[in-house]
Amino acid sequence: MTAPATLEHYPQAMREEIARVRRVVSDLHAELPRYELVVWTAGNVSQRVPNPDVPDGSADLFVIKPSGVSYDELTPESMVVCDLDGALVDGTRGPSSDTAAHAYVYRHLPEVGGVVHTHSTYATAWAARGEEIPCVLTMMADEFGGPVPVGPFAIIGDDSIGRGIVETLRESRSPAVLMRNHGPFTIGRDARAAVKAAVMCEEVARTVHISRQLGEPLPIEQRHIDSLYDRYQNVYGQK
Amino acid sequence: MTAPATLEHYPQAMREEIARVRRVVSDLHAELPRYELVVWTAGNVSQRVPNPDVPDGSADLFVIKPSGVSYDELTPESMVVCDLDGALVDGTRGPSSDTAAHAYVYRHLPEVGGVVHTHSTYATAWAARGEEIPCVLTMMADEFGGPVPVGPFAIIGDDSIGRGIVETLRESRSPAVLMRNHGPFTIGRDARAAVKAAVMCEEVARTVHISRQLGEPLPIEQRHIDSLYDRYQNVYGQK
Amino acid sequence: MTAPATLEHYPQAMREEIARVRRVVSDLHAELPRYELVVWTAGNVSQRVPNPDVPDGSADLFVIKPSGVSYDELTPESMVVCDLDGALVDGTRGPSSDTAAHAYVYRHLPEVGGVVHTHSTYATAWAARGEEIPCVLTMMADEFGGPVPVGPFAIIGDDSIGRGIVETLRESRSPAVLMRNHGPFTIGRDARAAVKAAVMCEEVARTVHISRQLGEPLPIEQRHIDSLYDRYQNVYGQK
Amino acid sequence: MTAPATLEHYPQAMREEIARVRRVVSDLHAELPRYELVVWTAGNVSQRVPNPDVPDGSADLFVIKPSGVSYDELTPESMVVCDLDGALVDGTRGPSSDTAAHAYVYRHLPEVGGVVHTHSTYATAWAARGEEIPCVLTMMADEFGGPVPVGPFAIIGDDSIGRGIVETLRESRSPAVLMRNHGPFTIGRDARAAVKAAVMCEEVARTVHISRQLGEPLPIEQRHIDSLYDRYQNVYGQK
């Protein structure tokens, strides 16, 4: 995959879509502090922009937060655009230090249109113990279809974070993975769905944590988990 | 009970009351995130609209939240109206996925004018262990008249959630029930009272949880609970 | 003590002071939800209005919150004025259900100019176990001069709550008492000081609770507590 | 070091810089309640103003919060200016009661340009047990390069708080120290960096606390901590 290095080499329709997605991704970053998933500059949201001329997805781009900029200063213009190798294609700032992990996910999971990473407190607390969150709430069965799994310990610098995310999520119905000693990454059909998964991941991490502080939560039978998950994914919300 | 399927078959006075209740119910939804009882689209409030022509209540309606719509987008117009079978009578969107449970409560508890469902964190944590909240606070004696009871495990799809709520609340003075592995449902003479019960349920769930983290709270004698409950229900607030 | 029943029998200067104090007390109520010390209508603040014609204090009045009114609806005009027997002297609404306890404190502690009652979460959690908060933080030594003590179990209806508060605080340097199974009452030279004590009481209740969750906090030697308390009460803040 | 006692004896460029830093420090105080690091009047931020005529730093000044003033009332004008002995050089109010500790840090650590002190809940809870926060999160390795260390018990009145801070931080990569039974002090190249360290210190104190409530967090190998710290200090953020 040798993607062109500047935006002018991409189709006009894609450039227009990027302008729209810059606003979507910038606005969604405001949800992270609103739901208390991040402090200071931590956390990032990205969304894929498909390339209509290259159906295999290898020439897609994605819009992501710039590195080390505080949430109050984020604007659509300050967002950056990268190709699926994580190389900067458009933007006046450096991309988030987690860009390589986002890029790996988009390269290997073509159905994923949005990725979110946070250090949200309760999810990160489970991640620090390397312990999956058991599925003991009906809302967890609805949204995650089972436990929230743990990914391997991996540090920044090569593909090991991205690979850990992808390998863990491929074996799970969960759109969230707790990377060990690090924090959650979530995926979705678009950035908004990935933000919702990040919000719900922290919510179930907190509720199950608190429940376990005073005893053991009661398990939900697998057939009920399956039934709840199936119904929620197919029926819930407005058509 | 074969209620008419569109609003025009209901009395004029009822249609006017529905316009008012749409605003009440829409506004009360804003209390749920304000008191941190819900995230994203979870949680719902409803209020009964009595049918003055059918005194047995079987032709009453209720106003409830549409399904899967975020709290920022709720308006009086987006609320939906259902009959006591849970069938949609008026509205451009689908009703909340918890509509059948609300309808069951209104069918079987004629004195109930409002119902609220949330996944508020501490109440849900007790629910996940299937453990009632003991009455160890004077404010709990005031508001709940005893422990907050636990209802059975039940999943969406038939009347089992509604039946679990009604059977549990009939044996209790509490306006709140913790449905196992699921979360609290609360009732009141109107939607505002049910919202207050939801707020207080989370408050006592949190306070008693925290108290028990470092030891065992001291019990309150039953005669004191009775005396506090009686006084609060009959004397408190403005006449 | 047979205080006159209407405001016109009190000195003009006192009536003017009451107008001022109505605003002070109304505004201070907004601090309680701001610092998350109350939900819904719980909690109340009062301030004494001394009677310049009766130096022994027996003909003083105090301004307090009306009963069962939500925080959003409080105004200076809705505050009520009571005499030190707790009888209503001025106001269109009923006084807070905790008025008798406030009145008892003003009757028996003439140096107290303000009283606050809340059900703040962590302080109430200690109260439910009937356990005093040990003085293990320098800020606690500063503000409380030792542990926050526990008062007896007492229910509304006679002087037992007020008596419990007064007897407990007389044996302590603390401006806060945790009434068993109930919640904190705090005092100060005026309502603002009592609100500050309520805020600090919850703060130390929370911090010491959290510290003890993972082990035993280290004690502070009594001579250091004394030294910190003495300095803070005499030096801190602007002259 | 016998610094002149009034601002007119300092260079013009320094007086202009002080006007700018008054606003910076005043604005940064708003971050402390925003991140829930302080209640009421607790907590303080300061920033050094170097003296260009005296390269050894001994004639520097710093801008700090006045004592006992609430966060709503802070303005650039209400900030006070002290010399490195902690003596008031400019301002209409008394300096923060923690001024001597800030001054000691600036005297002994010439590379430090900003100091922050809070009683943030979770950091103070670790401090009350006298227990360092172990480095079990990648974000901790990034920001702190290891555990957050504990300083000695010390009370206000002489140099013992300042000396405890300096001696502890000299043996650590951490910009934060937990003073025993007291709370965290943080340092940075300027006040903003010290505020960030205060925010991150509370964040890791909370996350590691919550993780340990249900078991033991997994350690991170020292070589990974070193690698993360090195990369973050040298690569992260915009150049």
Which pLDDT score is estimated for C3? 53
CB-based contact, B50 to chain C, within 8 Å = no
Which pLDDT score is estimated for C1? 45
In a domain, D210, yes or no: yes
Number of C-beta neighbours around residue D235 at 10 A: 14
- Over the stretch C186-207, which tens digit does the pLDDT of each residue have? 999 999 999 999 999 999 999 9
SS (H, E, C) chain A: CCCCCCHHHCCHHHHHHHHHHHHHHHHHHCHHHHCCCCCCCCCEEEEEECCCCCCCCCCCEEEECECCCCHHHCCHHHCEEEECCCCEEECCCCECCCHHHHHHHHHHCCCCCEEEECCCHHHHHHHHHCCCECCCCHHHHHHHCCCECEECCCCECECHHHHHHHHHHHCCCCCEEEECCCEEEEEECCHHHHHHHHHHHHHHHHHHHHHHHCCCCCCCCHHHHHHHHHHHHHHCCCC
Cβ(D123)–Cβ(D180) below 8 Å: no
Cβ(B45)–Cβ(B28) below 8 Å: yes
| Catalytic center residues of A | 142, 236
What's the order of all strands across the beta sheet hosting B61-64? B88-90, B80-83, B61-64, B44-49, B114-117, B183-188, B176-179, B150-151
Structure tokens at A119: 């250090």
- Over the stretch C155-174, which tens digit does the pLDDT of each residue have? 887 899 999 999 999 999 99
In a domain, B53, yes or no: yes
Query: What is the Cα–Cα distance from B175 to B185, expressed in whole angstroms?
Result: 8
Structure tokens at C107: 């009757």
Closest-CA residue to C198 (of C61, C93, C14, C43): C43
The residue with tokens 């996925």 is B97
Chain B positions touching A235 (Cβ under 8 A) are: 97
Chains with 3 or more CB pairs closer than 8 angstroms to C?
B, D
Cβ(C168)–Cβ(B124) below 8 Å: no
The mean pLDDT of A83-98, rounded to a whole number, is 94
Say which residues have a Cβ less than 8 Å from residue D184's Cβ, sequence separation at least 6.
D117, D118, D120, D123, D124, D127, D148, D176, D177, D178, D198, D201, D202, D205
Residue D62: which H helix or E strand, with range? strand D61-64
**B187-C69-B165 Cα angle (round to 5):** 5
Which pLDDT score is estimated for D172? 96
* B-interface mutation test, from C65, C98, C155, C208, most B Cβ less than 10 A away: C155
Give the closest of C215, C227, C236 to D129, CB-based: C215
Question: How close D211 gets to chain A, by Cα (Å)?
Answer: 4
The mean pLDDT of D26-47, rounded to a whole number, is 94
- β-pair partners for D117: D44, D185
In this structure, of A35-39, B193-197, D120-124, the range with the lowest mean pLDDT score is: A35-39
pLDDT 10s per residue in chain B (239 long)?
Answer: 455 678 999 999 999 999 999 999 999 999 999 999 998 878 999 999 999 999 999 999 999 999 988 888 999 999 999 999 999 999 999 999 999 999 999 999 999 999 999 999 999 999 999 999 999 999 999 999 999 999 999 988 789 999 999 999 999 999 999 999 999 999 999 999 999 999 999 999 999 999 999 999 999 999 999 999 999 888 655 44
Q: Is the pLDDT of residue C237 over 60?
A: no
Chain B positions touching A206 (Cβ under 8 A) are: 121
* Pairing state between β C88-90 and C80-83: antiparallel
Which pLDDT score is estimated for C239? 43
Which pLDDT score is estimated for A2? 52
In order, the DSSP letters of chain C are ----SSGGGS-HHHHHHHHHHHHHHHHHHTHHHHTT---TT--EEEEEE--TT-TTSTT-EEEEPBTT--GGG--GGG-EEEETT--EEE-SS-B-TTHHHHHHHHHH-TT--EEEE---HHHHHHHHHT-PBP--SHHHHHHHSSPBPEEPP--BTBSHHHHHHHHHHHT-S-SEEEETTTEEEEEESSHHHHHHHHHHHHHHHHHHHHHHHTSPPPP--HHHHHHHHHHHHHHSS--
Percent of chain C with pLDDT over 90: 88
Inspect the interface and report whether the beta carbons of A218 and B122 lie closer than 8 Å.
Answer: no
- Residue in B closest to A143 by C-alpha: B42
Chain B positions touching A138 (Cβ under 8 A) are: 155, 181-183
Say which residues have a Cβ less than 8 Å from residue A236's Cβ, sequence separation at least 6.
A142, B67, B68, B97
Cβ(D88)–Cβ(D95) below 8 Å: yes
CB-based contact, A34 to chain D, within 8 Å = no
Per-residue confidence band for A234, with pLDDT thresholds at 50, 70 and 90: confident
Cβ(B36)–Cβ(A205) below 8 Å: no
Full residue range of the structural domain in which residue B84 is found:
7-234
The mean pLDDT of D198-203, rounded to a whole number, is 98
In a domain, A1, yes or no: no
The mean pLDDT of A134-144, rounded to a whole number, is 97
Roughly what angle, to the nearest 10 degrees, separates helices D191-213 and A191-213?
60
| Catalytic center residues of C | 142, 236
- Over the stretch C87-145, which tens digit does the pLDDT of each residue have? 999 999 999 999 999 999 999 999 999 999 999 999 999 999 999 999 999 999 999 99
Cβ(B35)–Cβ(B202) below 8 Å: yes
Closest-CA residue to C112 (of C57, C158, C44, C181): C57
In a domain, D1, yes or no: no
Structure tokens at B48: 């009964």
CB-based contact, D139 to chain A, within 8 Å = yes
- Residue in C closest to B137 by C-alpha: C181
- Over the stretch D139-190, which tens digit does the pLDDT of each residue have? 999 999 999 999 999 988 789 999 999 999 999 999 999 999 999 999 999 9
Percent of chain C with pLDDT over 70: 96
Question: How close A207 gets to chain D, by Cα (Å)?
Answer: 12
**Identity of the highest mean pLDDT range in A36-40, A208-212, B96-100:** A208-212
CB-based contact, A31 to chain B, within 8 Å = no
Q: Looking at chain B from residue 71 to 130, which residues have their Cβ under 8 Å from any Cβ of chain C?
A: none
Percent of chain A with pLDDT over 70: 96
In a domain, A29, yes or no: yes
User: The domain that contains A175 carries what CATH number?
Assistant: 3.40.225.10
Structure tokens at C186: 């705090």
Query: What is the Cα–Cα distance from C129 to B212, expressed in whole angstroms?
Result: 8
Say which residues have a Cβ less than 8 Å from residue D33's Cβ, sequence separation at least 6.
D39, D71
Number of domains comprising chain C: 1
Which pLDDT score is estimated for D1? 45
- β-pair partners for B186: B116, B176
In a domain, A239, yes or no: no
Check if B232 is active-site: no
Which pLDDT score is estimated for B90? 96
Chain D positions touching A131 (Cβ under 8 A) are: 214-215
Give the closest of D206, D214, D218 to A130, CB-based: D218
- Over the stretch A91-137, which tens digit does the pLDDT of each residue have? 999 999 999 999 999 999 999 999 999 999 999 999 999 999 999 99
Q: Is the pLDDT of residue D236 over 70?
A: no
Inspect the interface and report whether the beta carbons of A156 and D224 lie closer than 8 Å.
Answer: no
Q: Is the pLDDT of residue A37 over 50?
A: yes
The mean pLDDT of D21-42, rounded to a whole number, is 94
Cβ(B106)–Cβ(B119) below 8 Å: no
Which pLDDT score is estimated for D157? 78
The mean pLDDT of A190-196, rounded to a whole number, is 98
- Over the stretch A144-191, which tens digit does the pLDDT of each residue have? 999 999 999 998 878 999 999 999 999 999 999 999 999 999 999 999
In a domain, D239, yes or no: no
Output the pTM of the full model. 0.95
The mean pLDDT of D41-67, rounded to a whole number, is 95
In a domain, C1, yes or no: no
E strand residue ranges, B92-210 = 114-117, 150-151, 176-179, 183-188
The mean pLDDT of A198-214, rounded to a whole number, is 98
Closest-CA residue to B208 (of B139, B133, B151, B150): B133
Q: What is the dihedral of CA A109, A112, A115, A120, to 10 degrees?
A: -90
